[in-house]
Amino acid sequence: MKHILSRTIIYFVIGILALLWLLPVLAALLVAFKTPQDFVSQKFYELPKSLGLITNLKDAMSQYKIQHHVLSSLFYSAIGAAAAILCASAAGYSIVRLRPRFNFALFLIIYSGTIFPFQMYLIPVYKFYNAIGLYDTRLGMVLIYSAICIPFALFVYRGFYTTIPRETEEAAKLDGCGPVRMLFYIFIPNSTAPTAVVALFQATWIWNDLLFGMVLTRKEEIRPVMVAVSSMMGFGGTSIPMLMSVVLAVSIPTIALFVFLRKYFISGMVMAASE
Amino acid sequence: MGATRRARNQNPFLSYILILPAFALVVGLLLVPMAQNLYYSFFKWDGISKPIFVGLGNYLRFFADSNFVQSFVNTLIWVVATLAIPVAGGLVVANFLRGLKLENLFKSIFFIPLTISFVSTGAVWSYIFSRDLGMLNGIIGLFSHGTKVNWLTSVPLNTGSMIIAWVWQQLGTSMVMFLAGLSTIPRDPVEAALLDGANKWQTFVHVTLPMLRPVTTVVITMAMVNSFKTFDIIYVITRGGPYRSSETLAVTMFRETFTMFNMGYGAAISALLSILVILVSVSYIKGMWKKDLLFY
């Protein structure tokens, strides 16, 4: 009896909390579907009289060119994460298996990039980018994003590569497989799980970034999507339904990734914490 | 071991080439700039004209700058609040969630805000807190007519409001960590304690919590580091305003550097921020070192 009672209380408390957590999502969804007129004239809980979502998105596209920013950010997420994965897995392989002199020191140097807050290198990178023409370029964005992603990626690969059995490697070596082919034909193909974690995490991080986009870009075609959302909020003229429709649109990719790849997300979080 | 030794002697050049891209990117774009940033922090510099060496001048200016003091106090409020609420809350939620039939559903609900960016979170909450059309004042208006709270423009309520938005977003982090930690705890000691007549609360405090300590350290360190670095959510919701009243160190650094062009001063603020973050992480990094997490 007592057991059932405590179960009920737990369900009740967690249920209320879960509802509280869902409320902002539902509120934002509701507003995204309203027309600006309905939003101003209705109470917050009333359902929209006419569906405004499509018009809201269209307006955001014509006024703020959100579609350009979305494309840029897709590019940065994909290429930035891919470049980080390539660099980090090559370095991780070399550090774990080829073990050149100073391999541990090299690892620590690369890994130390993750300890400091971004603010610590923001100004010099901004000056440097301006000086060599990387400011406001796609290449510049990809480079800084992948540089920031590399330490964590290296940590993951370095840990994982130690678990790949040596027998596979020895067999390949007998077949005349050199280190580079070993990396591309044995190590990278056999590390789906860590690659999924790193790709998911880093692509999401890049997609969600505001700071570097704001500091290192200016042109509309180059600016990432979160900078565009942030500047929509800076203008008084943006209607809240339009803003919410954009928030909905730019959150769908990361939420979808999470829904489909939930187990990688969670193991990635645990890994990111233990790095 | 033989294999590795052979490999080492075989082709040292190639093994360095494989490390080079990662090394060059991190050193060139992160580590060298960090050193430069420290150097800049000793100069008065608008970013264009010739920097003037001022020694520790920028650091001494902290004490006289009321905006900085406000920002520092706000940062401390953020750190304390975000330590207490998401960490304790995450622990409680994780503990309750475990073994429920709907565990996965609840987990997803608390986790989804984490996949949304800070910018989107800020946008959603700036609607909720909006004075005239916001949801929160709408709810309050149902009960008492005509009451309108200035969630985002009165001090220090604006910082509190933004912390709520942050907690909403971040609770999932500590929840996931604690769930992972709880699942590694063996059942035996817990059951033994219960058999010995300890009640659930006593068992939790005296048996479970001590065993969770490594996880708790990680969660607390992460929460502190993250709240020290808080930027996006504040920048998006209030831009640090009104009148710079809700800035934290990261926001102040950004404003001083990129809107007021006090680059040397901005560099000094970021150096201070880094020192704080490192101080907080020291015990944790040490622990990792001891546990051989870094060595293989």
pLDDT tens digit string along A148-201? 999 999 999 998 888 888 887 888 888 888 888 888 888 888 888 889 889 988
**What does the pLDDT average to over B2-14?**
59
Q: So what's the pLDDT on residue A2?
A: 67
Q: Which range, of A65-79, A199-213, B78-92, B120-134, averages the lowest pLDDT?
A: B78-92
- List chain A residues with CB under 8 Å of B282: none
Query: Coil, strand, or helix at residue B116?
Result: coil
Q: So what's the pLDDT on residue B9?
A: 45
Strands B43-44 and B52-53 come out as antiparallel
The answer to whether A109 and A234 are in contact (CB under 8 A) is: no
First vs last C-alpha separation in chain A? 45
Find tokens 């870094």 and name the residue: B294
Confidence of residue A101 (pLDDT cuts 50, 70, 90): confident
- How many of the other CB atoms lie within 10 Å of CB of A236? 5
* R_g of chain A, CA atoms, integer Å: 23
- DSSP annotation of B185 reads S
Cβ A31–B127 below 8 Å, yes or no? yes
d(CA A122, CA A215): 8
* Minimum CA–CA partner of B133 in chain A: A40
Reply yes or no on whether the pLDDT at A260 is more than 90: no
**What does the pLDDT average to over A221-245?**
86
Find tokens 């509280």 and name the residue: A20
Among the partner residues A24, A144, A179, nearest to B29 by beta-carbon distance: A144
Tokens of B35: 């050193």
Tokens of A153: 């990626």
Confidence of residue A274 (pLDDT cuts 50, 70, 90): low
**What does the pLDDT average to over A104-132?**
92
Whole-angstrom CA distances from A19 to A14, A81, A104, B109, B223 are 9, 35, 48, 9, 24
Beta strands in B48-179 (DSSP E): 52-53
Closest listed residue to residue B78, CA positions, set B167, B204, B3, B10: B167
A65-234: CATH number: 1.10.3720.10
Share of chain A above pLDDT 90, in %: 47
- List chain B residues with CB under 8 Å of A111: 294
* Minimum CA–CA partner of B268 in chain A: A120
Give the type of residue at B86: P
Q: Which range, of A13-17, A36-40, B94-98, B268-272, averages the lowest pLDDT?
A: A36-40
Reply yes or no on whether the pLDDT at A234 is more than 90: no
Higher per-residue confidence, A155 vs A5: A155
Closest CA–CA distance from residue B116 to any residue of chain A (Å): 6
Share of chain A above pLDDT 70, in %: 96
Reply yes or no on whether the pLDDT at B3 is more than 60: no
Q: What is the dihedral of CA B226, B171, A247, A233, to 10 degrees?
A: -50
Q: So what's the pLDDT on residue B296?
A: 43
Give the type of residue at B164: I
d(CA A76, CA A145): 8
Q: So what's the pLDDT on residue A275?
A: 57
Closest listed residue to residue A51, CA positions, set A182, A227, A245, A199: A245
Assess whether the previous peptide bond of A151 is cis (omega < 30° from 0). Answer: no
d(CA A111, CA A155): 7
Cβ B33–A147 below 8 Å, yes or no? no
Higher per-residue confidence, A71 vs B182: A71
- List chain B residues with CB under 8 Å of A187: none
> Which residues of B, range 89-148, sit inside 8 Å of A by Cβ?
93, 96-97, 100, 106, 108-120, 122-128, 130, 133-135, 138-139
For chain B, what is the mean pLDDT? 86
CATH 1.10.3720.10 placement within chain A: 65-234
d(CA B233, CA A91): 35
Reply yes or no on whether the pLDDT at B4 is more than 80: no
Confidence of residue B292 (pLDDT cuts 50, 70, 90): low
Among the partner residues B16, B33, B288, nearest to A128 by beta-carbon distance: B33
Find tokens 């009321």 and name the residue: B66
Reply yes or no on whether the pLDDT at B5 is more than 60: no
**B215-259 pLDDT tens trace:** 888 888 888 888 888 899 999 998 887 889 899 999 999 999 999
**What does the pLDDT average to over B86-106?**
84
- List chain A residues with CB under 8 Å of B253: 119, 122
Q: So what's the pLDDT on residue A236?
A: 63
Among the partner residues A10, A128, A207, nearest to B96 by beta-carbon distance: A10
Query: Coil, strand, or helix at residue B44?
Result: strand
Cβ A115–B115 below 8 Å, yes or no? no
Q: So what's the pLDDT on residue B67?
A: 93
d(CA B62, CA B58): 7
Higher per-residue confidence, B141 vs A19: A19
Whole-angstrom CA distances from B278 to A31, A59, A266, B216, B268 are 42, 45, 26, 18, 15
Q: Which range, of A168-172, B64-68, B110-114, B123-127, averages the lowest pLDDT?
A: A168-172
Higher per-residue confidence, A125 vs A232: A125
Cβ A91–B22 below 8 Å, yes or no? yes
Q: So what's the pLDDT on residue B291?
A: 59
d(CA B127, CA B106): 25
Closest listed residue to residue B179, CA positions, set B61, B249, B96, B263: B96
Closest listed residue to residue B12, CA positions, set B1, B21, B20: B20
Query: Coil, strand, or helix at residue B43?
Result: strand
d(CA B117, CA B130): 20
Which residues are registered as beta bridge partners of B53?
B43
**What does the pLDDT average to over A63-91?**
94
Closest CA–CA distance from residue B64 to any residue of chain A (Å): 22
The answer to whether A225 and A69 are in contact (CB under 8 A) is: yes
Cβ B168–A21 below 8 Å, yes or no? yes
- Specify the CATH architecture of the domain B47-290: Orthogonal Bundle (1.10)
Residue B118: Cβ-neighbour burial (10 angstroms; 0-12, 13-18, 19+)? buried
**What does the pLDDT average to over B65-85?**
91
